[in-house]
Chains A and B, each alone.
Chain A
Amino acid sequence: QKEVEQDPGPLSVPEGAIVSLNCTYSNSAFQYFMWYRQYSRKGPELLMYTYSSGNKEDGRFTAQVDKSSKYISLFIRDSQPSDSATYLCAMGYSGNTPLVFGKGTRLSVIA
């Protein structure tokens, strides 16, 4: 079983839709939960980061962590065509251990 599972999609939604992106994980030691966005032919960029559990909101983006279910989510409200990208979840244990990435979900927002 992979440590981090993420449905690769692709996911296609109309402009203005609410998008839900999800990852599950198997290792309960993970404490850091990240979402990266990667546009085509670019490197990933950090979108949101949560330590331990709970929710975090930044504009149209909300990150949720449910440690009891080993499940994390990223919600995008009022999705825009500019949100079309691949979204990668990533997780880590502590400061000096490498991040574990999901495969990424490719999202297309259609105008």
Chain B
Amino acid sequence: EADIYQTPRYLVIGTGKKITLECSQTMGHDKMYWYQQDPGMELHLIHYSYGVNSTEKGDLSSESTVSRIRTEHFPLTLESARPSHTSQYLCASSELGRSPYEQYFGPGTRLTVT
């Protein structure tokens, strides 16, 4: 079973607040990803990282930022939450050198902005 953790699992917060969603993995994977998933819709990649100090934006425009200071940790930050940010956020990781698409997902953070 994959060892990738996300906290919090559920978050309800008011508009304008700063939020950090945490993601950690204990598998030593170099690649990490953040996806956004709305009900009945595709997973959309919002950020990814191929190693420490490497971050890239995905195909979905996002007002969030990420950092990768340690291999195991890939937090996502929203500086000012809005109701349009209400969604499920999934973190994933994969091992460099193996199939790039054998991604292991965390359980997700369900965010509601009121």
Instruction: Tell me if A101 and B43 are in contact (CB < 8 A).
Output: yes
B105 surroundings in chain A (CB, below 8 A): 36, 43-45
Instruction: Tell me if B100 and A95 are in contact (CB < 8 A).
Output: yes
B46-66 CB contact bits vs A (8 Å, 1 = yes)?
001010000000110000000
Q: Which residue of B lies closest to A8 (CB)?
A: B40
Q: Interface extent on B, as a size class?
A: 20 to 34
Instruction: Tell me if A34 and B108 are in contact (CB < 8 A).
Output: no
Q: Interface extent on A, as a size class?
A: 20 to 34
Q: How far is the CB of B17 from chain A (nearest CB, A)?
A: 24
Contact residue among A32, A43, A46, A98 (Cβ-Cβ distance under 8 Å from B107): A43
Given contacts A43-B105, A103-B40, contact A98 B99 (CB under 8 A): no
Instruction: Tell me if B101 and A43 are in contact (CB < 8 A).
Output: no
A32-46 CB contact bits vs B (8 Å, 1 = yes)?
101010000111111
Q: How far is the CB of A101 from chain B (nearest CB, A)?
A: 4
Q: How far is the CB of B34 from chain A (nearest CB, A)?
A: 11
Q: Does B45 contact A (CB under 8 A)?
A: yes
